[in-house]
Amino acid sequence: MKRASFMLCLCLLAVSLKAQVTGSNYAHSRQLMGADSLAFDPRLAPFFHGVASGDPLPESVIIWTRVTTETEGEVEVGWEMALDTAMSQIVQSGTLSTGPERDYTVKVDVGGLSPGQTYYYRFFALGSYSLTGRTKTAPQGHTSHLKFAVISCTNYPQGYFNALGNIARRNDLDAVIHLGDYIYEYEQGRFNNQQLEGERDVLPENETVSLADYRTRYSLYHLDPDLLRAHQQHPFICVWDDHESADNSYRDGARNHQPDTEGDWNVRKRASQQAFYEWVPIREQPDFRIYRTFSFGNLAELLMLDTRLEGRDVQLDDINDPDFLNPDRSILGQVQRNWLLDQLQTTTASWKVIGTQVIFSPFNVGFVSSTDPDSVESQFLDIWDGYPVERDSIINFVRTQAIDDVVFIAGDLHTSFALDINERPTDTTAYQAESGAGAVAVEFVTPSISSPNFDEAVGFLADILEQCVNQPCPFFNSLSNPNPHIKFADLDRHGYFILDLTPDSSQANWYFSHDILQPDTLEEFGAAWYTRRGENHLRAASMPSPPKAVQDIPAPPYPHTTTSLSTAGHEQAFLLLGSYPNPVKDIFFLQYALNRPQQLSIELLDVHGRVIQRMLHQRQQRGIYTQVLHLKNLAEGLYFLRFHNGQHQQTLRLLKR
């Protein structure tokens, strides 16, 4: 989707937004902002990546964590779920093992729970407790009020995840819905904010292609304090979009995948899917399937789609292509489309909420070019606009089956929109913008958490485009409204919206971050739009929805201590976060963090403990680092890597094949 936004910017401003690519194949550091910033929080040991929960059902929910260990092999992990933050009213508990085959992540599907209940959970391993997390099961039966935070596009090097910190502080959410682009695959220096270079750099610094690459990128993201706290306080319902694998991906490839240099697409796709399953609190299904449904009592049915990797045909690049109106072209695939229509037809819930990664409604942008509007429209064929016959068939199904109260929620576009849905919104015989007559559903589009908006690409011209996107605009010689179905548009602010559902209405409340260039807790209410039960079109709201009557107690900020937790752990200065792959054939990848400047040595030892090679001997500053070791010429056998900084020593077993 980034190519489309870029081309639109070219039409607005005749300048090129040249990507800056930097990096090294061997080492990289992320410098940290502020004297009090740490690369990792030693109080969380050995659960440095926090805890998470997701995919809530009435009687079960997924809980997740990751263990960082100084030894190889399996680690036994205990878990508990309780009704209180003190963890004294235990309702479920158990143990399981994790190891390198799952990157030491832990995922438990906890069953036997009560519907609509807030729970608290924690893990135990290596003598220490994890953070206590807060989660909630889905309600069952009569339900009067639901609230969801809807987010997308969490781009680490583009800015701070301040919106996630504000979501973490909310105490009346039923879940956080992440519509994709949880991570970005780009190398350091590409699609980043240059003002934050050296402060929000990515790891690994190369583009993520291998399983080790994707695992390391997720590891970095989960160390972000705002993402960590949001996961701690709320269950997430997640789907991937394209950047969890590669930009503009589809079933059989991606625009940002080059087979000649990056290998087989299916190998890369599977690696990205495996890392997503390991690091995201999603309920696992066969063949990495992610489309699924959630029932929230009689009030809402949430249908989460996969418009990327499940069944999408390759994107076209010209709306005049003869294949553009081919009825067999699909963004969903036949199996998923049939599933969606069946779910819509059979659910008895008041609201049918459809989570789609990319915007569903028609989005007309050709008006920005007076000479070649088709070329501009052709840049936006990665969204549902590129699959118009399938979209029309879904809209027609909703209309002919008289299915009311369908609400689409989408992300990807780094904009905020509220839209009525009709196949031909500019045709006044089919849709009346003033009254909403002809609309069959509504759509709310969430802005990015941090990915660049239009103003960050074209500056003041974003304001002009925002004013012209849904009304006649002399600036572009447009005498008619190109998008009369767009009721609200914001092209230049980061944030999220709260989806508020009651038996009478469905309302989206947009909240925008004050700043993403530094840690900040300020946000502002931006707009609210709603649809009444049975109306299927939008109205403006003068104020945000009220909070729920009951506010949940937040999970505590730090883990419960144990007698075996040494105070020396709080002085920990070196942390080995990951090592891949082991056994190794050629390239061995290390990720580690330093909480203070130190002289670090990494030595390769043979089985007798003799130093074969010093891989690193360098004074390094506080930050998170990667180190790539080229071991192709090393003879097969057992070796050890020794890390020491003068105070701490750690040894890693390494098998060369």
Strand partners, 616: 602
Where do runs of H (alpha helix) occur along 378-430?
Answer: 388-400
Q: What's CA 254's distance to the chain center, in Å?
A: 18
Helix (H) or strand (E) holding 163, with range, is helix 162-168
| Token pair 């709310």 in the structure block, residue | 444
**Cross-strand bridge partners of residue 523:** 513
CB neighbours of residue 35 within 10 Å: 5
Q: Measuring CA to CA, how many Å separate 344 from each of 303, 340, 407? A: 9, 6, 11
pLDDT digits (tens, 9 = 90+) for 591-620: 999 999 999 999 999 999 999 999 999 999
User: Tokens 């190109």 map to which residue?
Assistant: 482
- DSSP class of residue 156 equals G
**SS3 string of 530-581?**
EEECCCCCCEECCCCCCCCCCCCCCCCCCCCCCCCCCHHHHHCCEEEEEEEC
pLDDT at 473: 80
404-420 pLDDT per residue, tens: 999 999 999 999 999 99
- Do the beta carbons of residue 523 and residue 166 sit within 8 Å? yes
Does the pLDDT of residue 261 top 90, yes or no? yes
pLDDT at 23: 27
pLDDT greater at residue 566 or residue 340? 340
Which CA distances in Å does 371 have to 274, 368, 375, 376, 564? 46, 9, 9, 10, 72
Question: Which pLDDT score, from 0 to 100, does residue 152 have?
Answer: 99
User: How is the chain split among helix, strand and coil, in percent rounded to 5?
Assistant: 20, 30, 50
Separation CA 342–CA 19 (nearest Å): 44
Asked whether residue 563 carries a pLDDT value surpassing 60, the answer given is no
Percent of the chain with pLDDT over 70: 93
> What is the DSSP-derived secondary structure letter of residue 298?
T
Give the model's confidence band at 441: pLDDT under 50 very low, under 70 low, under 90 confident, else very high: very high
pLDDT at residue 11, rounded to an integer: 53
> Which tokens in the block code for residue 654?
């390494």
Is the model's pLDDT at 27 over the cut of 50?
Answer: no
- Closest alpha carbon to 33 in 511, 516, 491: 516
pLDDT at 37 (0 to 100): 73
The burial of 324, by beta-carbon neighbours within 10 Å (0-12 exposed, 13-18 middle, 19 or more buried), is given as middle
The mean pLDDT value for 444-457 works out to 93
pLDDT of residue 474: 76
Average pLDDT estimate for 237-254: 98
Kindly report the backbone phi and psi dihedral angles of residue 175, in degrees, each rounded to the nearest multiple of 5, phi listed first.
Answer: -175, 165
Distances (CA, A) of 115 to 137, 143, 444: 6, 11, 28
Where does the pLDDT of residue 562 fall: very low under 50, low under 70, confident under 90, or very high at 90 and above?
Answer: low
Domains in the chain (CATH in brackets) are 2-23+138-540 (3.60.21.70), 31-135 (2.60.40.380), 573-656 (2.60.40.2550)
- Sheet of strand 637-644: strand arrangement: 611-620, 598-605, 637-644, 649-656
Nearest CA to 161 out of 228, 206, 115 is that of: 228
Own/partner pairs, 455-459, CB within 8 angstroms, 24+ separation: 455/491, 455/492, 456/193, 456/492, 457/5, 457/6, 457/9, 457/17, 458/9, 458/12, 458/13, 459/13
In the prediction, which pLDDT does 366 show?
Answer: 84
As a whole number, mean pLDDT of residues 90-95 equals 99
Percent of the chain at pLDDT exceeding 90: 85
- Torsion sign over Cα 17, 18, 19, 22: negative
pLDDT score for 19: 28
CA 650/CA 200 separation, integer angstroms: 28
The answer for residues whose C-beta is within 8 angstroms of residue 233's C-beta and 6 or more apart is 133, 134, 168, 169, 170, 554, 555
CA dist 610 and 154 (Å) reads 45
Average pLDDT over residues 273-300: 99
Sorted by sequence, the CB contacts under 8 Å of residue 464 that are 6+ apart come out as 12, 473, 475
Q: What is the helix (H) or strand (E) element at residue 458, kind and residue range? A: helix 455-458
Nearest-angstrom CA–CA distance, 190 and 185 = 10
User: How confident is the model at residue 564, as a pLDDT?
Assistant: 41
Q: What is the pLDDT of residues 461-511, one digit of tens each?
A: 788 888 889 998 877 766 789 999 999 999 999 999 999 999 999 999 999
Omega before 204 within 30 of 0, i.e. cis: yes
Measured CA distances, 193 to 46, 164, 615, 650 (Å): 32, 19, 32, 36
| Phi, then psi, of 648 in degrees rounded to 5 | -125, 140
Please, are residues 520 and 538 in contact by the beta-carbon 8 Å criterion? no
- Please give the pLDDT value at position 566: 39
Rounded Cα distance, 616 and 452, in Å:
37
**Cα 154 to Cα 544: distance, rounded to the nearest angstrom:** 24
Closest CA to 231 of 55, 63, 62, 52: 52
pLDDT band at 572 (very low <50, low <70, confident <90, very high): confident
The region that residue 287 occupies, defined by phi over 0 for left and psi between -120 and 50 for alpha, beta otherwise, is left
Element (H, E) at 505: strand 505-513
Q: What is the DSSP string of 439-469?
A: --EEEEE---SSS--SHHHHTTHHHHHHHHT
- Asked if pLDDT for residue 88 goes beyond 80, the answer is yes
Contact present, 181 and 241 (Cβ < 8 Å): yes
Q: Is the pLDDT of residue 133 over 90?
A: yes
Strands 235-238 and 175-178: parallel
Give me the mean pLDDT over the 374-394 stretch. Answer: 96
Specify the residue for token string 């045909």.
Answer: 313
Residue 395's pLDDT band, with cuts at 50, 70 and 90, is very high
Rg from Cα positions in the chain: 25
pLDDT digits (tens, 9 = 90+) for 189-245: 998 999 999 899 999 999 999 999 999 999 999 999 999 999 999 999 999 999 999
**Mean pLDDT across the chain, nearest whole number?**
92
Tokens of 483: 């998008």
**Residue closest to 180 by CA, chosen among 102, 236, 222:** 236
DSSP 313-349: PPPPS-TTSGGGG-TT--SS-HHHHHHHHHHHHH---
598 close to 43: Cβ distance less than 8 angstroms: no
* DSSP 8-state class, residue 187: P
State residue 4's pLDDT score: 55
Length of the chain: 657
